[in-house]
């Protein structure tokens, strides 16, 4: 798996080895998992009428008022997104600056991640807002043409809108990814990190696209592998539950089911936390490979390359 002078398989091997060696980073991977899950839930809530109805019913039955529940929900979402940013910054700090932090000290990594979390969250919100604005701007002409019953023209305009929206979304995704690392490792401000992120993506466009596709596929393979292992682990519990239902009362069966579900849930959370840590580690190592090839492999991005007084990505 070697393209354009980069050994992608080697990057993934290193990332897996580091994620297994530094199991402390799974905690920060868990933060990322929670934040990602909450973001997915918020998107699904916007699109799902059943979720909206369930939430409305829950708010009606709750002892809290509707506005109070909504405020609590927003605070919870923001807290989870902030935790995700802390997790990302902590992992980047641990891998990108191995000499600056004790790799086995959770408190040190947490507070180091907390320092950069607001800037990461700010970049995240900025680009998410940008993508939403672009989407709405491109959608308005299509909606207008549909109401005007110009269906053929609306389809053509919609096709052009998609052709514009996809590159914008891809550009926003990669600038965010690289900006996180520039924020933490060279300790840049938001503006400089975004400028350098754009430069490194522009100079390594094909490598970045290929890496993200391979990382996505690797994440799916790991998830499928862990789910298969969880299923195999849960099969004996299923048969034990059936045996308990025949021998003992339903209470014993319920207890066994509760224990089994707890074990399987814990295994699932651990696997997803490890995968999220692996993904973030992979991004840092990939960034080190394309951004600072002169840096020794064992000191991953300890020093960023300088150009015009700022760390700048080298041209491919």
202-214 pLDDT tens trace: 999 999 999 999 9
Half-sphere exposure (Cβ direction) of 200: Cα atoms closer than 13 Å: 29
Q: Radius of gyration over alpha carbons of the chain, in Å?
A: 23
Query: Is residue 268 one of the residues assigned to a domain?
Result: yes
Kindly report the pTM of this predicted structure.
Answer: 0.79
Residue 316 inside a domain? The answer is no
| CA distances to 175, 237, 239, 255, 270 from 232, in Å | 40, 10, 12, 20, 16
> Does 59 map to a domain?
yes
- List, for residues 251-296, the tens digit of each pLDDT value: 767 777 787 788 888 989 999 999 999 999 999 999 999 875 433 4
Tell me if 141 is assigned to some domain: yes
- Establish if 273 belongs to a structural domain: yes
Element (H, E) at 304: none
The domain of 154 spans: 2-311
Other Cβ atoms less than 10 A from the Cβ of 6: the count is 17
pLDDT tens by residue, 64-121: 556 777 788 888 888 899 999 999 999 999 998 776 665 558 888 899 889 999 999 9
Number of domains the chain is built from: 1
Output the pLDDT for position 78: 87
How far CA 264 is from CA of 23, 32, 234, 237, 306, in Å, comes to 19, 20, 7, 10, 48
Quickly count helices (H) and strands (E) in the chain.
9, 4
Question: 7 phi and psi, to 5 degrees?
Answer: -95, 95
- Above pLDDT 90, what percent of the chain? 46
- 97: which 2 tokens? 């600056």
* 232 within a domain of the structure (yes/no): yes
- Residue 109, CA distances (Å) to 26, 76, 97, 106, 295 in order: 12, 23, 11, 5, 23
142 contacts 158 by C-beta, under 8 angstroms: yes
Residue 60 pLDDT level (bands cut at 50, 70, 90): low
Rounded CA gap, 284 and 180, in Å?
A: 10
Q: Do residues 285 and 300 touch, judged by C-beta distance below 8 A?
A: yes
Distance CA 291, CA 299 (A): 14
């Amino acid at each position: 798996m070697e393209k354009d002078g980069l050994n992608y398989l080697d990057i993934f091997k290193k990332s897996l080895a580091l994620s297994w060696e530094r199991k402390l980073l799974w905690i920060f991977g868990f933060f990322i998992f929670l934040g990602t899950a909450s973001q997915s839930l918020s998107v699904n809530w916007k699109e799902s009428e059943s979720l909206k109805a369930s939430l409305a019913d829950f708010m009606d039955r709750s002892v809290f008022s509707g506005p109070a529940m909504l405020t609590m929900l927003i605070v919870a979402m923001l807290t989870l997104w902030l935790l995700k940013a802390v997790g990302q910054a902590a992992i980047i700090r641990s891998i990108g600056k191995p000499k600056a932090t004790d790799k086995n000290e959770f408190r040190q990594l947490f507070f180091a991640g907390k320092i950069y979390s607001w800037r990461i969250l700010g970049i995240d919100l900025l680009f998410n807002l940008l993508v939403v604005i672009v989407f709405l701007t491109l959608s308005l002409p299509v909606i207008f043409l549909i109401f005007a019953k110009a269906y053929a023209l609306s389809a053509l305009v919609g096709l052009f809108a998609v052709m514009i929206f996809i590159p914008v979304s891809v550009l926003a995704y990669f600038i965010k990814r690289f900006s996180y690392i520039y924020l933490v490792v060279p300790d840049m401000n938001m503006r400089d990190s975004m400028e350098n992120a754009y430069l490194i993506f522009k100079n390594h466009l094909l490598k970045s696209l290929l890496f993200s596709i391979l990382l996505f596929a690797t994440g799916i393979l790991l998830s499928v592998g862990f789910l298969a292992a969880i299923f195999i682990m849960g099969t004996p519990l299923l048969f034990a539950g059936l045996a308990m239902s025949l021998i003992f009362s339903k209470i014993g069966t319920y207890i066994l089911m509760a224990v089994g579900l707890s074990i399987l849930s814990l295994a699932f959370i651990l696997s997803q936390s490890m995968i999220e840590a692996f993904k973030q580690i992979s991004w840092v190592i990939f960034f080190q490979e394309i951004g600072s090839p002169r840096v020794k492999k064992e000191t991953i991005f300890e020093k960023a390359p300088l150009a015009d007084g700022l760390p700048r990505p080298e041209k491919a």
